[in-house]
């Protein structure tokens, strides 16, 4: 093919391609705004910002359709004007005439792959950040629609919500005024399944706060979010009112409560380097890490409780040493029955009215005080950062030991942290492979295994979908050139009708395959096969059409 003929066809391809790309990218960008507009509501500034961030992704996703349409139109016009016939008369074959389309397809495939691997994830993440840039507006809309908003440790109910100006000197803080709010706080614990031995997380309502109004402040730092609330004319009462009174407080504070980031670490937001990093180290993923930490804490607490229970059964005495000289010794003066337990909690109750549990406070082995207790509850909190166990000794109906008098108290807490034994520290050193091989089908360990499998499956599906999409740009270009020469039409409507079927077939099968793979890790191979089936079908169509043209 001469340079003149090549550039004659190639220029026409580029003209129609860029015109079509601009139109399709605009339609896709506005279509992408529908969900955030309806779900979150956007200001005019957010709409313009999101449109700008949508454009790289919209242009990339429009590449194969625009290329297919352009080749169908250009080669159809050349065929309808008998220019293809003239070229054939000079000895130029149909395959040679497809060289401009071939070059265009290779260029678009490379551009699409680079964009999907590096550019599109970056700007898609920015779109999410714009949608969640105002958490106060999201809170207000949630209250208006459902009269509640769920937090990790609490649920907030309110009649109305109204956004207020940010406090002076803190422009990044967002303020919302709630009317007649109720804050329901949960105690997160785990129960041991007696059959499987696994643990099940349980959220138990613990404390309730009610007020005439509340001023909520959402503080945003670099990587964290915190939730504060100041109650006006408020009151607090526990779930269990036995032996307790309702405490009225004025302008009581609630929080700070840590908030999870509303922007998920989704594979579609990750560049190819980030996908590789999370595939090699899935425990670096935020959601996986949170579940892994929860499991590690529960297992350390359960193992520590087993050691405590063993010591109690053997000696009827418990010794807690901080490692710095301070310590507590719990002496059970008579057998008072088995210890009631759940993960993170153990309790003993004296029969009758006697105080049969004695707590000795020691320093460097010397007793410095003693308490006589009727009921004792131990709460365990494992600290993964320091490798220590924080123990809360909750004393109920206690006679406090002092040098002069022994006053009685309804409830007194004592605190101590102890170093974990080496065998318990090793629990925190388990890698992802340990849980992937886990055969248990109950408890958090099974949920972590499923989470790890889902993450790896999603990464596989995302990588294959990006590669398949890039290759479809080349395949659809070749299909378009063959269909244009065969059907001999330069009409835009006819070209669109011819090009839309193979284009949407490829895209539909890619999306379907990705959903099949991500829905269940057992369907990974089936999902990958569906992702590539569109290219296989359309590629076979392109090869068949080009072979048929060659024989003409």
User: Are 107 and 77 members of one domain?
Assistant: yes
Give yes or no for a cis peptide into 353 (omega within 30° of 0).
no
Per-residue confidence (pLDDT) for residue 200, from 0 to 100: 59
pTM over 0.85: no
Low-confidence ranges of the chain (pLDDT < 50): 241-251
User: Are 9 and 128 members of one domain?
Assistant: yes
Quote the radius of gyration of the chain (alpha carbons, Å). Answer: 33
Per-residue confidence (pLDDT) for residue 67, from 0 to 100: 92
Packed helices 524-550 and 492-519: angle between N→C axes, nearest 10 degrees: 150
Count CA atoms within 13 Å of residue 436 on its CB side.
14
User: Are 30 and 87 members of one domain?
Assistant: yes
Tokens of 372: 């006589």
SS3 for 112-135, per residue?
A: HHHHHHHHHHHHHHHHHHHHCCCH
Q: Rounded to a whole number, what is the largest CA-CA distance in the chain? A: 118
Task: Decide: 507 and 534 in contact? Cβ < 8 Å.
Answer: yes
Packed helices 3-32 and 44-80: angle between N→C axes, nearest 10 degrees: 150
For residue 482, with 0-12 CB atoms within 10 Å meaning exposed, 13-18 middle and 19 or more buried, which class applies?
Answer: buried
Is residue 422 included in any domain, yes or no? yes
Is residue 61 included in any domain, yes or no? yes
Per-residue confidence (pLDDT) for residue 441, from 0 to 100: 54
Is residue 95 included in any domain, yes or no? yes
User: Are 109 and 166 members of one domain?
Assistant: no
CA distance 504 to 534: 9
Is residue 268 included in any domain, yes or no? no
Distance of CA 265 to the CA centre of its chain: 5
CA distance 120 to 269: 8
CA distance 395 to 411: 5
Residue entry with tokens 């989470």: 451
Is residue 105 included in any domain, yes or no? yes
User: Are 397 and 504 members of one domain?
Assistant: no
User: Are 361 and 467 members of one domain?
Assistant: no
Per-residue confidence (pLDDT) for residue 339, from 0 to 100: 55
Is residue 444 included in any domain, yes or no? no
CA distance 457 to 478: 32
CA distance 241 to 239: 6
User: Are 396 and 424 members of one domain?
Assistant: yes
Length of the chain: 552
Per-residue confidence (pLDDT) for residue 440, from 0 to 100: 60
Q: Are strands 154-157 and 182-192 parallel, antiparallel or unpaired?
A: antiparallel
Residue entry with tokens 């002069």: 404
Task: Decide: 63 and 18 in contact? Cβ < 8 Å.
Answer: no
- From 219, 215, 149, 147, select the one nearest 178 (Cα to Cα): 215
User: Are 101 and 181 members of one domain?
Assistant: no
CA distance 136 to 146: 15
Of the residues 225, 241, 259, the one at which a domain ends: 259
Domain enclosing residue 238, as ranges:
135-259
User: Are 480 and 494 members of one domain?
Assistant: yes
Tokens of 156: 């907030």
Packed helices 443-487 and 99-114: angle between N→C axes, nearest 10 degrees: 160
User: Are 61 and 112 members of one domain?
Assistant: yes
Is residue 67 included in any domain, yes or no? yes
User: Are 497 and 459 members of one domain?
Assistant: yes
User: Are 402 and 456 members of one domain?
Assistant: no
Instruction: Characterize 313-336 residue by residue with b for buried, 16 or more Cβ atoms within 10 angstroms of its Cβ, and e for exposed.
Output: eeeeebebebeeeebbbbebeeeb
CA distance 133 to 126: 10
Q: Please, which residues have CB within 8 angstroms of residue 391's CB and are 6 or more apart in sequence?
A: 320, 378, 379, 380, 381, 415, 416, 417, 418
CA distance 243 to 375: 14
Is residue 516 included in any domain, yes or no? yes
Give the Å distances, CA to CA, from 175 to 76, 185, 320: 61, 21, 45
Of the residues 397, 428, 459, the one at which a domain ends: 428
The total number of structural domains in the chain stands at 3
CA distance 120 to 268: 9
The tens digit of pLDDT for each residue in 79-119 reads 888 898 899 888 898 989 999 999 999 999 999 999 999 99
The beta-strand segments (E) located in 211-356 are 213-220, 225-232, 234-238, 247-249, 253-259, 317-321, 326-332, 340-342, 345-349
Of the residues 259, 275, 310, the one at which a domain ends: 259
Tokens of 314: 């053997």
The tens digit of pLDDT for each residue in 238-284 reads 555 444 444 444 446 776 777 777 777 889 989 999 999 999 999 88
């Amino acid at each position: 093919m001469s340079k003149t003929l090549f550039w004659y066809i190639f220029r026409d391809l580029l003209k129609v391609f860029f015109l079509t790309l601009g139109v399709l990218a605009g339609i896709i960008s506005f279509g992408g705004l529908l969900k955030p507009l309806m779900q979150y509501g956007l200001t005019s500034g957010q709409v313009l910002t999101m449109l700008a961030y949508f454009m790289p992704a919209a242009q990339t996703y429009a590449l194969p359709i625009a290329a297919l349409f352009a080749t169908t139109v250009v080669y159809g016009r050349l065929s309808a004007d008998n220019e293809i016939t003239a070229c054939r008369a000079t000895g130029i074959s149909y395959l040679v005439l497809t060289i401009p389309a071939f070059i265009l397809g290779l260029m678009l495939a490379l551009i699409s792959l680079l964009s999907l691997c590096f550019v599109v994830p970056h700007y898609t993440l920015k779109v999410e950040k714009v949608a969640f840039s105002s958490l106060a507006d999201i809170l207000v809309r949630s209250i208006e629609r459902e009269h509640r908003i769920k937090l990790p440790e609490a649920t907030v109910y309110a009649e109305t919500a109204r956004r207020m100006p940010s406090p002076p000197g803190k422009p990044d803080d967002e303020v919302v005024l709630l009317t007649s709010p109720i804050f329901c706080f949960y105690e997160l614990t785990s129960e041991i399944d007696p059959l499987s031995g696994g643990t099940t997380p349980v959220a138990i309502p613990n404390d309730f706060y009610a007020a005439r109004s509340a001023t909520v402040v959402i503080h945003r730092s670099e990587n964290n979010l915190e939730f504060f609330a100041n109650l006006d004319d408020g009151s607090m009462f526990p779930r269990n009112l036995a032996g307790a009174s309702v405490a009225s407080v004025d302008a009581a504070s609630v929080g700070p409560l840590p908030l999870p980031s509303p922007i998920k670490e989704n594979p579609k937001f990750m560049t190819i380097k980030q996908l590789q990093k999370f595939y090699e180290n899935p425990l670096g993923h935020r959601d996986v890490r949170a579940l892994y930490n929860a499991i590690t804490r529960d297992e350390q607490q359960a193992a520590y409780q087993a050691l405590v229970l063993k010591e109690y059964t053997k000696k009827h005495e418990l010794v807690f040493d901080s490692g710095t000289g301070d310590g507590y010794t719990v002496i059970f003066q008579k057998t008072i029955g088995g210890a009631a337990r759940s993960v993170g909690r153990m309790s003993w109750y004296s029969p009758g009215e006697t105080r049969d549990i004695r707590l000795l406070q020691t320093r460097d082995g010397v007793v410095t005080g003693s308490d006589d207790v009727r009921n004792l509850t131990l709460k365990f909190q494992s600290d993964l950062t320091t490798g220590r166990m924080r123990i809360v000794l909750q004393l109920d109906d206690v006679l406090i030991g002092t040098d002069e008098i022994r006053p009685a108290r309804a409830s007194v807490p004592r605190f101590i942290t102890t170093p974990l034994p080496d065998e318990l520290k090793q629990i925190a050193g388990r890698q992802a492979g340990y849980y992937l091989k886990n055969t248990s089908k109950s408890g958090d360990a099974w949920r972590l295994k499923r989470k790890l499998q889902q993450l790896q499956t999603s990464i596989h599906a995302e990588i294959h979908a990006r590669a398949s999409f890039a290759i479809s740009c080349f395949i659809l270009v070749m299909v378009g050139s063959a269909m244009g020469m065969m059907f001999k039409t330069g009409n835009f409507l006819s070209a669109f009708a011819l090009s839309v079927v193979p284009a949407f077939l490829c895209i539909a099968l890619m999306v379907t395959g990705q959903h099949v793979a991500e829905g269940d890790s057992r369907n990974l191979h089936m999902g990958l096969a569906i992702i590539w089936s569109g290219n296989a079908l359309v590629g076979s169509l392109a090869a068949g059409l080009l072979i048929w043209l060659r024989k003409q």
